[in-house]
Structure 1
Amino acid sequence: MTWAAFAAVTLVAGCSSLNSALQSDRVDYKSAETGPSLAVPPDLSSLAATPAAPIGGATSLSSYEKKEKVVAAQPKVQVLPEVPGMKVVRDGNERWLVVHQAPGDLWPTLRQFWQEQGFVLTLDSPDTGVMETGWEENRAKIPQDFIRNLLGKVIDGLYSTGVRDRFRTRVERGPDGTTDVFITHSRMVEVYTNSQKDTTKWEPAPSDPGLEAIFLTKLMQRLGATAEAAKSEVQAAAPAAPATRVINAADKTYLDINEPYDRAWVRVGVALDRANFTVTSSDRQKGLYQVRYVDPAALHKDNGFFYSLFHSKQIQQSKEPRQYNVNVRGESNDQTRVYVLDPNGNIDTSEIAKNIIGVLSAQLQ
């Protein structure tokens, strides 16, 4: 199954469980590490050296997290601030929050919100409008059986769900002094690498739109809404699904979106987040997202013993993330086109570029 088809199936399944997720919104993410509060956001130059996720190869998640974490959570109890107004907007499969507050004023509240939820922030960049948590476990998913309830926290660390979640918050400046807030979810699952079940590795898994909706409602509560009002707002957001289609021309492959440029630009950014691309920079005026991407075919390709023996360096290089430019172009008032560009700024016609377009198309359905 291709990544595009895999993502499409995931989105259909996720949407059907949204209401049930909001009804049973038990989440418990508590980082095991603590440390000083983040005073200054990390230098963006460090972003390029950080892998998007521990994909491929048997590696421990704990070692990955230790290298990744740059700030620890220190929950603070504060009175909920008053907000002039907010609403949930839905476009296709995306829901986001529109807050009547400037991005710079809202940013400290977003930081506190994720820390209060028990997360460590690994990326805190007001300049790019992106905030990202570390990979954490939802302890609420661990069965509360008799033995665990009896022994309590004494053996709590011995229990594991084999699932880790990460959340990315993207902030975009809206019209009339408003701010658009997007929350996207990524997931990794621990799987056995052999029949003996003595070694494991972490692999990417489908995102959960239900969790995105849960944290969107929790953020609304943090901004002053009641729990019931927040849930009702998220559930009642009216869908508006503009048509998207992949165009396979003789010399190029691109994505057509029947939406104005401003809306399409935001939706493409959210799709990149949800599809586990690492966005290293973005320029809205030029319509460019610079992303890091690993070809799934290279990760899972069986090169054979002798080829691997003499070409280990080339194989390793093929599994490393590469830079690509996703170009969003406004073609008319209600149509936008998306291309993948090569390092020279030309339209990329490779199979990897076609794969990227396919993944984006599946996320935007």
Structure 2
Amino acid sequence: MINVLQALRQHRITVLLLAVSAVTLIGCKSVTSNDTVDYKTSGAVRGPNLSVPPDLITAQADRRYIVQDGTATMSEYNSALKKSVQSRKSVMTGMPGMRIARDGERRWLVVEKPAPELYPQIKDFWQENGFLLIIDSPSTGIMETDWAENRAKISQDFIRSTLGRVLDSLYDTGERDKYKTRLEVSKPGETEIYITQRGALEKCVTDSTGSCISTIWTSRPNDPELEAVFLARLMERLGMTQEQAKAQVAAPLGPKTPKAKLVQQGVNTAYIEITAGFDRAWRDTGLALDRSNFTVEDRNRANGIYYVRYVNPKDLGDTKGFFTNLFSSKDDSSLKAKKYSVLVKASGDNSSRVTVQDADGKPENTAAGLQLLTLLTEQLIR
């Protein structure tokens, strides 16, 4: 069987040798970048292809979430982005009452402005940073980017620095990122902004001899530092100086303390016990949902309910990797996604419970319900 990576490397070596010759002939000057996060030159503006992992849950079933289809060209994207930036210049003035809030190892942004005023600016912010949005829902205050590659992770060697983007397609980090943003109204005139990152990693599939015969995309751990980078950039976008934004984000975080545990009653009946009042439990549960395979479709803070969709990898026949299955042209993940309600309720002054209900509002006392609570617990104790 053909060794895919070996063949690819051989092809790249050939191209690079040609590139060296080109450098000698044209005598270009070297250009390097010190930016450690750069998605603008990545595949964010392209439609789905084999180099980009698919979304864990597609939003194609609801067209209101789609802002651009997969056939958008670079010129169309740049043109739309230019118009968007020009139309927003009048609102890019400094914004008072903006701060980073903390709870243990978690950060989020608090702005003394109504969510409807902030939403279009945050949407522009993600587009200006090189992302396409696959979920764009002003009514719920939720947006989500497509998968993109952080090209700043690719080393700037002599050849690449000289020829620049001519050879970009030959380099790949083997990693992709996507970001969710959720706006919460904490009190009248004040908005909490949460940014969460999810990552994918390309890994080899080996045969019996240990040779790499193909690659698959798998999930990789959440990176809080990437979230911090974009929180700081958003603060700059909203009017704070770079130094002020970096100083706020860089302030020490609190200690990490376990505050959630899974409690089982019988075979399948279970709930999550959180050692915190409702406000903190609501916030932590929302972040846990954002960082996992759930898609939050709506929420009702007054009643303590998150309305979510979830795709179980087993329902997709997870034999070649979750990402690969969802990327298939026969992708039926939107049909496999099931709807649930995640309930957060105070059970005391400093305790809350999280339970799961099915689409009909009945307790999900099944193996699936236990699995969902287990996944949430894993995120809550991280």
- TM-score tier, shorter chain, comes to 0.7 to 0.9
Q: Is the 8 A contact 2:262 2:373 kept in 1?
A: yes
Partners of 2:121 and 2:177 in 1: how far apart?
21
Deviations 1:213-255 (A, max 9, x none): 1101111111222222212212225527572222112362101
Question: Which residue identity does 2:38 align to in structure 1?
Answer: D
Percent identical among aligned pairs is 40
Paired position in structure 1 for 2:192: 180
Q: Normalising by the residue count of structure 1, what TM-score does the alignment of the two structures yield?
A: 0.74
User: Do residues 235 (structure 1) and 250 (structure 2) align?
Assistant: yes
Cα shift at 1:351: 2.4
Aligned residues: 306
Question: Which residue identity does 1:236 align to in structure 2?
Answer: A
Deviations 1:103-124 (A, max 9, x none): 0111111011111111111111
Q: Is the 8 A contact 1:258 1:336 kept in 2?
A: yes
Cα shift at 1:134: 0.9
Paired position in structure 1 for 2:352: 336
Cα shift at 1:300: 6.5
User: Do residues 157 (structure 1) and 161 (structure 2) align?
Assistant: no
Q: Is the 8 A contact 1:280 1:292 kept in 2?
A: yes
What stretches of structure 1 move > 6 A for 4+ residues in a row?
Answer: none
Paired position in structure 1 for 2:288: 271
Structure 1: unaligned runs, 5 residues or longer: 1-23, 36-45, 51-64, 303-315
Deviations 1:36-92 (A, max 9, x none): xxxxxxxxxx93737xxxxxxxxxxxxxx82899x9461537474221211111123
Cα shift at 1:138: 0.6
RMSD, aligned α-carbons? 3.2
Cα shift at 1:324: 2.1
Paired position in structure 2 for 1:103: 115
The aligned runs of 1:282-301 (5 Å cut-off) are: 282-297=299-314
Paired position in structure 1 for 2:362: 346
Partners of 1:145 and 1:151 in 2: how far apart?
10
Paired position in structure 2 for 1:93: 105
Structure 2: unaligned runs, 5 residues or longer: 1-33, 47-57, 63-68, 320-331
- The change in CA–CA distance for 1:93 and 1:25 in structure 2 (over 3 A counts) is farther
Q: Normalising by the residue count of structure 2, what TM-score does the alignment of the two structures yield?
A: 0.71
Instruction: Please identify the structure whose Cα radius of gyration is greater.
Output: 2
The aligned runs of 1:60-209 (5 Å cut-off) are: 66=70, 72=77, 74-75=81-82, 76=85, 78=89, 80-195=92-207, 197-209=212-224
Cα shift at 1:297: 4.9
The aligned runs of 1:208-227 (5 Å cut-off) are: 208-227=223-242
Residue aligned with 1:104, SS: helix
Deviations 1:239-273 (A, max 9, x none): 27572222112362101122232332222111101
Paired position in structure 2 for 1:320: 336
Question: Which moves more between the two structures, 177-186 or 121-130?
Answer: 121-130
Question: Which residue identity does 2:373 align to in structure 1?
Answer: I
Question: Which residue identity does 1:66 align to in structure 2?
Answer: G
